[in-house]
Structure 1
Amino acid sequence: MNRQYGLSYRAEDEVIVTTGASEAIDMTFRAILEEGSEVIISGPIYPGYESTVKLSGGVPVYADTRETNFKITAAMIEKHLTDHTRCIVLCSPSNPTGYTLDKEEILKIAELLVNRDIFILSDEIYSGLVYDREHYSIANAPELREKTIVINGVSKSHSMTGWRIGFAMAPAPIAAEILKVHIFNTVCAGTISQYAALAALTEEIGEVAMMKAAYKKRRDYVYERAIAMGLEVIKPDGAFYLFPSIKHTRLASLDFALRLIEEEKVAVVPGTAFSEFGEGYIRLSYACSMEKLEEGCNRLERFLERVTPKPALQ
């Protein structure tokens, strides 16, 4: 993490290896939240945050990012702050949109939060897949390290999802409380997986760069195909998703996804899986071969031609 992002954490008492990033998120919320604690989350977003906040007795508070290209802003966060706000969730690059917060946008959020007694959970699991700029962690912002918990892992950057290795990084006093949850939850991540992750992080750096280049090529292909189909979508900065609007079809997101898989055998995720703010969108993943992407885009284009209403004759 220090080599890649300039983050400095002591292995002995500030890093916890977890059973995937999902456990890291869950145990963090269980350590820092109490009944009624409010957690500000951007929407649309990965649904695991809402569930784990609720399981910890907290209250998810969604910030609607549809008017800001799906990016949460300092002004948006400030609008939702109350006396009960306990944590802000930042996910950059984002699932499902692939959009990232740049350094300037993060520093504006940092300026808002620096003198407030609020934790920041920074989910950076897709940080290894940022294509057109350098990833910047809010934990590097002045005076923010002491209240930030950084979540990362090898699932996305090293294509090791099933190995279940994540990590939580936080200042020692916070990490000590998170560790109390961890040791009574899973005890430890599997040692076989830990050795595999160690090899991946220290010996396969070139492979990661090659994989990132392949993802960028796939992103560009799927984005260009989506535009050519008439889909309204912003080119993502990272991760491996596109989040196009399908509002012009007049189909609900779930209906669109169900019909697409039934009629063309192409799987997408309806935007409503990522909160109510995802209605009217679908998530496309380009984490597969170019051959499959080409065939999938052909089928999607064929489906769109059938379901898109034709202009009325004059």
Structure 2
Amino acid sequence: MISEKAKNISPSITMEIAGKVAEMIKNGEKIVNLTIGEPDFFTPAYAKLSGIAAITNNITKYDVASGNMDLKKAICEKLKEENGLSYDVSQIVVSNGAKQAITNAAFAVLNPDDEVLIPTPCWVSYPEIVKLTGAKPVMVKTRKENSFKLTIDDVKPYINQKTKMVILTNPNNPTGAVFTKDELSTLCEFFTENNITIMSDEIYESINFDFDFVSVASLSQKIYDNTILINGFSKSASMTGWRLGYSATSKELAKAIESIQSHLTAHPSTISQQAGIAAIRQCKNDVKIMRQTYKERRDYIAEFFKKWGKLDIIYPQGAFYVFIDISPLKDKLKGQYLSLDFCNGILSKENVALVPGQGFFEDNFVRLSYASSMETIKEGLERIKKYTESL
């Protein structure tokens, strides 16, 4: 009864930890949960009020499959003002979250047996989405000394006649690494020259601390023409539950994406789309406050690990994650997966929940999310230190 395609989807190794956390909470245990991949802020007031107004004013009927025209205009304004990009509304498709935007675009571009380059560590859904299209995910290992940022040397051995697409995430989940303009230019010129479509997932764009964010499509006209830009509202406006994202690409490809979406889900919630307009036009100060708060947390965590000196981290320049190197503990943890062993151990001994790096294809690390209060972060760090030093 179950299709081979469905059977081919890999279960997430992180679900084991999630299940244990849920069970412990159910049993009344207090967990220091540092796994959460969503902002700990509420949706900004203007966005919420716009959603409420949409209900009150009966903006609850069907809309066009590619999204509300006013929202698409607002997205074009945002891309122009913040990224220096000129897009027409016909190039924008608004989807039920950035995940659907990625999935739509993958189905619109990929054929069976095409290959997609996915730098690791990476978000767990990328390879599974690629497999659903019938294409093949090609996992490209990056290096700690480069903060796990992809280089041409990393990717060259994996390119062949079947290579169709590369997925770039900037800022990165799980590492928090951010590409500089020069790094991006070098990479994207290479991919464009080799006719490899670039899917640029920029969902963490607004959470960027140390230098100006550069959107891939802004690098040159050729790269613009070769790029599918993915973004959304979940991280920038703390609207994870509203399910609102978008893609920006060529008119031809946008039309194909719209056609696919029209048969899968049609447009996103009309209520969410009204909130999205307000998020772009009226919530910029909220975004700044969130970013500054994340930066303060990042700075505290980085200083903690620097002073402690026992474990290294990838210094995060964006997103709200810290990737902690636990490879020095290999001789002390004997499980099949180092990161899963560490996460199981610290959960059972110290009630701290972290995400094993194995779930991101990098077993020597664990991911800590600082989308939590400073009090929770401080408590979690002290317990990480206690557990590590007890081994």
Pairwise TM-score range, normalised by the shorter structure: over 0.9
Structure-2 residue corresponding to 1:138: 216
Contact 1:92 1:126 in 2 (8 A): yes
Contact 1:98 1:238 in 2 (8 A): yes
Which region of structure 1 is more displaced relative to structure 2, 201-210 or 64-73? 64-73
CA offsets 1:30-88 (integer angstroms, 9 cap, x no match):
11101101000101110110000000011111111124220001232333210000001
Letter in 2 for 1:14: Q
Contact 2:356 2:363 in 1 (8 A): yes
> Does 2:314 match 1:231?
no
Letter in 2 for 1:201: I
Which region of structure 1 is more displaced relative to structure 2, 136-145 or 15-24? 136-145
> Does 2:335 match 1:249?
no
Q: How does 1:37-186 map to 2 (within 5 A)?
A: 37-67=114-144, 68-142=146-220, 143-186=222-265
Contact 1:78 1:112 in 2 (8 A): no
Aligned mates of 1:157, 1:198 — CA distance in 2: 13
Alpha-carbon distance, 1:97 to partner? 0.1
Letter in 1 for 2:241: G
Aligned mates of 2:165, 2:291 — CA distance in 1: 31
Look at both structures and tell me which one has the larger radius of gyration over its CA atoms: 2
Structure-2 residue corresponding to 1:208: 287
Alpha-carbon distance, 1:257 to partner? 0.6
Aligned mates of 1:191, 1:236 — CA distance in 2: 36
Runs of 4+ aligned residues of structure 1 deviating over 6 Å after TM superposition are none
Aligned mates of 2:153, 2:339 — CA distance in 1: 29
Aligned to 2:104, what secondary structure does the other structure show? helix
Q: What is the TM-score with the length of structure 2 in the denominator? A: 0.76
Alpha-carbon distance, 1:117 to partner? 2.4
Structure-2 residue corresponding to 1:292: 376
Letter in 1 for 2:99: S
Percent of paired sites with the same residue: 38
Alpha-carbon distance, 1:125 to partner? 0.3
Quote the RMSD (CA, aligned, Å). 1.2
CA offsets 1:159-207 (integer angstroms, 9 cap, x no match):
1111111111101011111111111111111111111121111101111
Aligned mates of 1:305, 1:287 — CA distance in 2: 25
Aligned mates of 1:139, 1:57 — CA distance in 2: 27
Contact 2:176 2:314 in 1 (8 A): no
Structure-1 residue corresponding to 2:276: 197
Which region of structure 1 is more displaced relative to structure 2, 235-244 or 224-233? 224-233
Alpha-carbon distance, 1:216 to partner? 0.3
* Alignment size in residue pairs: 304
> Does 2:372 match 1:306?
no
Which region of structure 1 is more displaced relative to structure 2, 293-302 or 96-105? 293-302
Aligned mates of 2:200, 2:293 — CA distance in 1: 26
Q: How does 1:217-228 map to 2 (within 5 A)?
A: 217-228=296-307
Contact 2:113 2:162 in 1 (8 A): yes
Structure-2 residue corresponding to 1:26: 103
